[in-house]
Structure 1
Amino acid sequence: MKTMKKNIRRTFQRSWARFLSVTLLIMLAIFVFVGLFSAGPDMRQTVIDRFKQENLADIQVETTTSFSNSDKKRLEQVANLKEITYGKQIDAVLSGKGIRVISTPKTISKAKLVQGRLPQTNNEIAIGEQLNQKIGDTISITSDDLKVKKLTVVGIVRSSEFMSRTSLGQTNVGDGTLSYFAIVPSSNMTVSDNLARLTFTNTQNLSAYTQEYSNAAYADLEKVQKITRQLTQAKQDKSLTDITAAEEKLVSSEKTLAQQEETVKTAQEQLQAAKQAAAASPELQAQLADQESRLSKQAAQLSQAKTELVEAKSDLAQKKKQVSLIQVSAQERSDFAHGYSDYGSSATRMDALALVLPVIFFAISLMVSFTTMRRMVAEKRTEMGTLRALGFYKKEVMGEFTLYSTLSALVGTVGGSLLGIYFLPNRIYSIFADGSYQLGKMTIVYNIPLLLISLGLALMSTLLAAYLAAKKELKEKPADLMLPKPPAVTNTILLERIPLIWKHLSFSNKVTLRNAFRYKSRMFMTIFGVMGSISLLILGIGIRDSLIELPHRQYETISTYDMIAVYNPDSKSLSSYQNLVKTHSSSQTSIRYETVSAKSDELLDSQSIQLFVGKDFKNDIQLDHRLTNDGAILSKKLTQAFNLEQGDYLTIKDSQGKSYHIKVSSITSNYVGHMIYMTPTYYQKVFGTAYQSNAYLLKTKENAETLAKKLNQNDASLTVVQSKVIRQTVSDFLGGLTNIILIIVFVSILLVYIVLYTLTSINVAEREKELATIKVLGFYQKETLLYVFKETFLLTAIGILLGIGLGYFLHKYVMTVIPPEHIFSIPGITWTNILISTVAVILFSFIVMAIMNRHIKRIDMLEALKSVD
């Protein structure tokens, strides 16, 4: 055993490069396999734990007025309700930006303290991490709904309702985008409860981002929306009743005022007659003048009262027009928790990558590792025969290979698993956490079956390969094993059967072709290894190219407007609002704009859809087809998400949960967001209401943010949707995916190098005697090197060509599953991508050639040409 241990130790010392290459191959494969399969679950579990700690609401109900006691009692009657709490929220302005201020949450959607404490007095505030302020700083918030506006920061908080780092929704203050959120005591707000948070019993044991939770929460939402529709109708009816009663009072006051005016008029006429009759009496004239003065004052007061009456009537008429703005609406997490859906979508993207990339990594790594271990056994053939002749048992002889292969598998598995568990998921999580979301420390989910599968695959590529090869060799007698293995039976290649080509080839090229295609295992290993590696490079770079180009194509080619300015068409300030629009924009297109939603059983969350209604959008939106009065144009990604074709119908819901059916007349290209375009005529047919424009598509003369602030200062403004804000949000999200892809590209490059080095070193090792022979025959070093590498370059070229094809199909498949539901990817790969990937593989081939050149130089010709006989 001492001899055997010494022999094993020498084997490790002499073949450390092979051991390292096999170990690294296994490590890389398991790193990608474990890392990508762990990333999605880790990302989800991290926020799921947060949701549970904060008791994030399942449903949130908002009202534009306030909740009365009867409203609260009605909401508390919804089925499956576990808990409901009420609070207040307002949108205010901080340094020109929109900030959502909420009252301190009680038991639902609690805020997590990062630093400091929650506010206790009216002059204190806790701010979200999005606002870059410190504890002790003083901030001033502009709002008529706050009693104290100058506030001291006493805490920094994090909330699952505001996960996004950059955009927290739309508003009608500031620049139209909510950039921050904050918490103040309820006592500092002048408004009544206008927010309700609800949790349900049927969702308590279900995890977020699962189909079961989504279905249960959506069922709860539909029940709540049934109540909110009733509350909305009741509030609107009450408002109309109050307005009607006020109008009746005004009519009565108008009659009384008319009578008073008539009385004053009669008195004035009588006074004029009396003045003529008393022309000769100075005393009577003075009394009449005094009476006239009093009547004039009464007439002026009546005139003022009449003016006020007219204004009151106008105000009531205005209020009656705006009754439709009184709303009670219910939202699920994907709507009120900003960042919830996009984050879940990011985790799902990791799941999609995990189903593709590790397969290729493992296929290449297993193939090369398997070949390497079999080659190792073949090299040890004479040694195995010697050990058997010395009396060692077969299992003792195989022990060397068993230990070598097992140790390689274990080291590779442990190293790859550690990196896959701790580094890659954490890196992916950090990219999203630091770029797009406000998140805490990542939760690690230990997937034991995944680790066991990794170890099994690693052992299969090393231990099984070594065992099968050694078992086959040990079937021979020790005397036969100590002799060199007889060369394989010579066979011709296909080109030799085509004399027209073969006769015109030089001797060197004939040797290259024979060596390249005669040894099938070596040929397929090289071709498949290069093919898989370059396809991964093309895929990774292609994903990055497709994602980076999206915002540019969407906002500079298709949607060329700068903002959507949404207004109240019944506002008294409408004319001044329209003047602002005309003065500060170079182009205005009047449309109707609404946000609707649609739910599919195949998708976790309801999909938010932008509805554009107008006669023509050609100045601002490029559509692939013309609008008709017999249907709507839908964006391509929307039709794909709901499996729709031309002529099908899509069921959408408005903010109140009312359902409408939209016919697909045609489909248009669109890369970001779900869109529906229709004519006013078709809008009236679908919704059963008269068309009325409520928005402008604007191209601005000045800074879009400046114009947004000016518009939101007008009472007619409802909100402003800036294209650049959406573009930045999309770019941040896609940037996170791009950074992850760059990690995959780096690992792919490393894989290319290891594969080329390992296969080339095996090729050189197998042919040392052949290389020594041609060196003895007088071949120069350069000629000897090319003798081997012409074959490598030939097979590499074939692998590159096949890899480009495989990379194209991989890219096409992955780009159908990796983009989120609301983003449509750009198909195809660029020539730049192909060129970069090809040059990278060729470059690594030359690096390997340079390394092997030193090895070939060191070949001991005398030793290599020795015969065992």
Structure 2
Amino acid sequence: MKTILNRNIRREFKFSFARFASIAVLLGLGVFVLVGLKVTGPDMRATGNTYYTEHHMADAVIKSDVAISKSDQTYMRNLPHIKKIEFSTYKDAVIKGSTSSIRVSEKTSTLSTSKISSGRLPTRSNEIALSSAEKGKYHLGQTITLVNNKGKTNVSGLKHTRYKVVGFVTSSDYLMKQNLGTTNAGTGQLTTFGVVTKAAFTSSRPIMAYVSYNNVHGAAYSNRYESQVAKNVNQVTHRLTKRADHRQTQLTTAASDKLNAAQKRLTAKQNTLTATKAKLSAAIKQDPQAASQYKTQEAALAKQQAKLTVAQKSLTAQRQSLKKTSQLTYEIQSRNDYNSGYNQYGEDAKRIDVLANTFPIIFFAVAIMVTLITMTRMAEEKCQELGVLGALGYTKHDAMKVFIIYGVLAGLLGSAVGAWFGTSFLPRKIFAAYAANFTMPSFQTPPSLLWISVAVIISLLCATLPAIIVATKQLREVPAVLMAPKPPKSGPKVLLERIPGLWQHLSFNHKVTIRNLFRYKSRMLMTILGVLGCTALLITGFGIRDSLNGIVKTQYSDIIHYDVIGVFNPNATSASRKAYEKKVDDLKGVKNNTKVYYESVTAKPTDEVTNQSVSLIVPKSTKAFKKDVTLRNPTTKKHLHLTNNGAIITKKLATITNVKKGDYLTIKQSDGDKYRVKVSGITEMYAGHDVYMNSTYYHKVFSKNVTYNANMLRLSNRSNKSINRVSRTLNKQSAALTAVQSNDAKTTINNILSGLNHLVLIIIIVASVLAFVVLFTLTNINVSERMRELSTIKVLGFYPMEVVMYVYRETFILTVAGILLGFIGGDYLHYYIMQTLPPETAMADMTLFWTNFTVSGLMTLGFSVVVMGLMAYKINRVDMLEALK
């Protein structure tokens, strides 16, 4: 008997292989998406954490704009919770023969170390190890020459200008392949970096310090780690500010004492010269006839007086410059603030987490629904067989073996394949897309026992439980009842039949179709819900791509019109500032030039431990500023205007800080001082955070007059080549600090796009497969359980196409209904995803294009047509007489 039972089970696999394959594929797709998206974010963070540990990445960095004194180094070593501290320095330059700006950093030994990828680290003052990204451009043993902004081989702070390349390295300080940071060299954006020995610098005093803490725990990006580091940084910010003030006083006093001493010497020389001139004048008066004899002495005294006059003017200028010296700062920042690559990598992992909390639910929900109805139908179909087995003496357990084995094998097969691809294929594809922007090593993707176990359990329950429940209920009946054929399900009257005159005008085929739709309500509901979910996924996939693609055009055609912000030192000498202004005026191709105040401040988002970088911009002329930036309401597109009683902030900044018009936003300067800014308006902006205010309101907030330190330039030619040319020209001036390019944000958006496009493609492909399998499975169930009905109408003389359409009309109507509802679901899902998917520094366009709906709908309809083609082949092969027995 066992042999016959096992043979019967094997026959079930043979004759319902399509159903078995459908269940396995559905569950496999669900597991694939669930495991793949759930593990990618954690795997990315784990890979990053390993990389940071290998490079001994610092927890925080202290930066100074002057050399850090020995006493201040001792002070920093004794700050709270310091585990290790290592001081370093760097200089920026340009590589001769290229447009690449390079940061030459001192080699560190304990924190934020450089790791050799080939060659070795430098040991001599004229050796350098370049970024591993430069391996294709340069080779070991090659000599490179560094120049300043004017192209001269005289880089301030470096002993040499020619360096021998002895190695290529990676560094956790430079995680991005592009936009490594801002500089005053070249175009204002760092292109690459290099590592040299301490002996390569003219000064042994450092300008920065790497810090690690003894009270931090947890991996990088974990809330436990990030919150503790942020707490440590906030704890010492004001202490460092006070220390910087003390150092400022020391430097100012020392410089003043030096000037006073020089003034005393100059005064003494002037007094001596005056006395000599008086004696000479007296001698001439006593002997007027010999006046010609004293001409040589008079000329010598005049030369001395001229020198003293020049010296006096120089001293006076130095005193004025000392009064205007910018405030010295010791700025401490955590990884998220000082390292943009670290922050963006974490944001990329977060975006995957957002998708992982949404898409798997929909995929699995659709797969579970279809699997439930499939296994339920299977149990109902086996009703007579269960009666026969019971009559032959088989136990209830034996009778249900077919469902258990069938479901377990389908669940295990689907889970195994889905988990394998979800662990290896999907995470690697996603990481490869994002890693194109980072200098990360090979991706670590160990199997996640948690999510694989969860997925397998859900799959097994879906594949076995429904059939077991139905079979258990049926086995309560006596075998004779089970073996008796069940009468066809009666079709109750539908609403259309109750409308006088309408029902009579419908054809027979249409009447049958309408009745059958409501006759099998569970199948109707499952088909609609399945198609709804798949259509919504397709719309969202296409919508993500189009929403992000559209913001580049909107940002740089409708909102941002300037190309470069040239930032200069307002405390530079008068001659340097005038030279800078003259160079700006002489630039060719400038359509608009607006004087502004530009400062980088920070704001803390709600419920976040990391700060967001914010550009504070105060235009001198609001009229001229309107030509550079269009301030408008994100919803109504109505233009906004700067007022004396508030500032205008960008939409994404308002969202993440949870402020609205009339509220106050707290911003923090580099010295740790915080200021409350009233929000008078919120403007549309898709990349970056900005705060705009006029000079009057600036005075109200900061209690001082604004000192304009930048020129906002709009160019006739907005190409990258033109923008880089202007940036290099400005940075050549001695008063220049840096040049901020508007298209830096464009690079950020493009990086997001390049990563998401691959992910969106995978989502679209998987959603398409899911839609096809759902339609195939449900249509196959419909055809299989109605074989007698279809055979009957064939016997009655229906043509083959009429028989196919007999079923396809129902599928078509349900598919169209699912598509229409999917349009609504897709709109809601897209809105939710685009609210949460973009990083903290970017905002997406929420608009869905008509093509998103059209393409998604047509694809789903196309799948239904293909399915019916397969079903037509199956229907035409049916043996009518056999089916009617």
CA distance in 2, matches of 1:602, 1:223: 19
Q: Is the 8 A contact 1:75 1:227 kept in 2?
A: no
Partner of 2:627: 619
Aligned Cα RMSD in Å? 1.9
Matching of residues 361-440 of structure 1 within 5 Å: 361-434=363-436, 436-440=437-441
**SS of alignment partner, residue 503 of structure 1:** helix
CA distance in 1, matches of 2:235, 2:77: 12
Matching of residues 75-86 of structure 1 within 5 Å: 75-86=76-87
Partner of 1:297: 300
Q: Is the 8 A contact 2:337 2:610 kept in 1?
A: no
Which amino acid is the alignment partner of residue 100 of structure 2? K
1:592 aligns with 2:611: no
- 1:110 Cα shift? 1.7
2:143 pairs with one of 127, 134, 138? 138
CA distance in 1, matches of 2:592, 2:533: 51
Which amino acid is the alignment partner of residue 212 of structure 2? T
- 1:660 Cα shift? 0.9
Which amino acid is the alignment partner of residue 201 of structure 1? N
1:461-493 Cα shifts (integer Å, max 9, x gaps): 111122112223323333333333221133112
Partner of 2:876: 857
- 1:247 Cα shift? 3.2
Deviates more, 1:234-243 or 1:254-263: 254-263
2:160 pairs with one of 109, 129, 148? 148
Q: Is the 8 A contact 2:157 2:202 kept in 1?
A: yes
CA distance in 1, matches of 2:484, 2:348: 60
Partner of 1:128: 131
**SS of alignment partner, residue 215 of structure 2:** helix
CA distance in 2, matches of 1:334, 1:556: 31
CA distance in 1, matches of 2:337, 2:5: 68
Q: Is the 8 A contact 2:326 2:571 kept in 1?
A: no
CA distance in 2, matches of 1:505, 1:566: 77
1:104-148 Cα shifts (integer Å, max 9, x gaps): 111111222222221112222122233343433332222332223
Matching of residues 433-472 of structure 1 within 5 Å: 433-434=435-436, 436-472=437-473
CA distance in 2, matches of 1:667, 1:778: 71
Deviates more, 1:53-62 or 1:535-544: 53-62
CA distance in 2, matches of 1:865, 1:98: 83
1:732 aligns with 2:732: no
Matching of residues 229-244 of structure 1 within 5 Å: 229-244=241-256
Deviates more, 1:314-323 or 1:756-765: 314-323
In structure 2, relative to structure 1, the CA distance for the partners of 1:278 and 1:237 (3 Å cut) is closer
Deviates more, 1:193-202 or 1:569-578: 569-578
Partner of 1:198: 211
**SS of alignment partner, residue 141 of structure 1:** strand
CA distance in 1, matches of 2:414, 2:733: 65
Partner of 2:679: 664
**SS of alignment partner, residue 324 of structure 2:** helix
1:327 pairs with one of 323, 326, 329? 329
CA distance in 2, matches of 1:514, 1:779: 19
CA distance in 1, matches of 2:614, 2:810: 57
1:156-202 Cα shifts (integer Å, max 9, x gaps): 22222111111111111110001212111111112321111111111
Matching of residues 165-314 of structure 1 within 5 Å: 165-191=177-203, 192-203=205-216, 205-263=217-275, 265-266=277-278, 269=281, 277=289, 288=293, 292-314=295-317
- 1:418 Cα shift? 1.2
Q: Is the 8 A contact 1:210 1:604 kept in 2?
A: no
- 1:449 Cα shift? 2.5
Which amino acid is the alignment partner of residue 707 of structure 1? V
1:805 aligns with 2:824: yes
CA distance in 2, matches of 1:549, 1:452: 40
- 1:276 Cα shift? 5.2
CA distance in 2, matches of 1:146, 1:860: 91
Q: Is the 8 A contact 2:83 2:214 kept in 1?
A: yes
Partner of 2:697: 682
**SS of alignment partner, residue 444 of structure 1:** coil
Matching of residues 327-726 of structure 1 within 5 Å: 327-434=329-436, 436-572=437-573, 573-584=576-587, 585-600=590-605, 602-614=607-619, 615-616=621-622, 617-624=625-632, 625-702=640-717, 703-726=722-745
2:101 pairs with one of 98, 101, 104? 98
Deviates more, 1:491-500 or 1:307-316: 307-316
CA distance in 2, matches of 1:209, 1:611: 28
CA distance in 2, matches of 1:509, 1:490: 14
Partner of 2:636: none
Q: Is the 8 A contact 1:264 1:299 kept in 2?
A: no
- 1:223 Cα shift? 2.7
CA distance in 1, matches of 2:797, 2:118: 78
Deviates more, 1:524-533 or 1:826-835: 826-835
Partner of 1:282: none
- 1:575 Cα shift? 1.6
1:202-240 Cα shifts (integer Å, max 9, x gaps): 11x222212222221122112332232123212321232
- 1:595 Cα shift? 0.8
1:282-334 Cα shifts (integer Å, max 9, x gaps): xxx7xx2xx5334423422431342233234324422431243x332111111
Which amino acid is the alignment partner of residue 167 of structure 1? N
In structure 2, relative to structure 1, the CA distance for the partners of 1:471 and 1:322 (3 Å cut) is same
CA distance in 2, matches of 1:135, 1:400: 68
CA distance in 2, matches of 1:741, 1:111: 35
Q: Is the 8 A contact 1:811 1:828 kept in 2?
A: no
- 1:254 Cα shift? 4.0
With structure 1 as the length reference, what TM-score do the two structures score? 0.95
Count of matched residue pairs: 854
Q: Is the 8 A contact 2:263 2:315 kept in 1?
A: no
**SS of alignment partner, residue 135 of structure 1:** coil
CA distance in 2, matches of 1:249, 1:145: 28
- 1:364 Cα shift? 0.4
**SS of alignment partner, residue 175 of structure 2:** coil
In structure 2, relative to structure 1, the CA distance for the partners of 1:481 and 1:149 (3 Å cut) is same
Q: Is the 8 A contact 1:41 1:445 kept in 2?
A: no
Q: Is the 8 A contact 2:788 2:883 kept in 1?
A: yes
Matching of residues 722-801 of structure 1 within 5 Å: 722-801=741-820
With structure 2 as the length reference, what TM-score do the two structures score? 0.93
Partner of 2:23: 22
CA distance in 1, matches of 2:432, 2:308: 67
Ranges in structure 2 where 5+ consecutive residues have no aligned partner:
148-154, 633-639
**SS of alignment partner, residue 339 of structure 1:** helix
Which amino acid is the alignment partner of residue 453 of structure 1? V
CA distance in 2, matches of 1:82, 1:96: 40
CA distance in 1, matches of 2:235, 2:311: 45
CA distance in 2, matches of 1:612, 1:775: 78
**SS of alignment partner, residue 191 of structure 2:** strand
1:63-108 Cα shifts (integer Å, max 9, x gaps): 1111111101111221111111111112221222222221111111
- 1:264 Cα shift? 5.0
CA distance in 1, matches of 2:246, 2:337: 25
Q: Is the 8 A contact 2:233 2:332 kept in 1?
A: yes
Q: Is the 8 A contact 2:532 2:821 kept in 1?
A: yes
**SS of alignment partner, residue 822 of structure 2:** helix
Q: Is the 8 A contact 2:491 2:515 kept in 1?
A: no
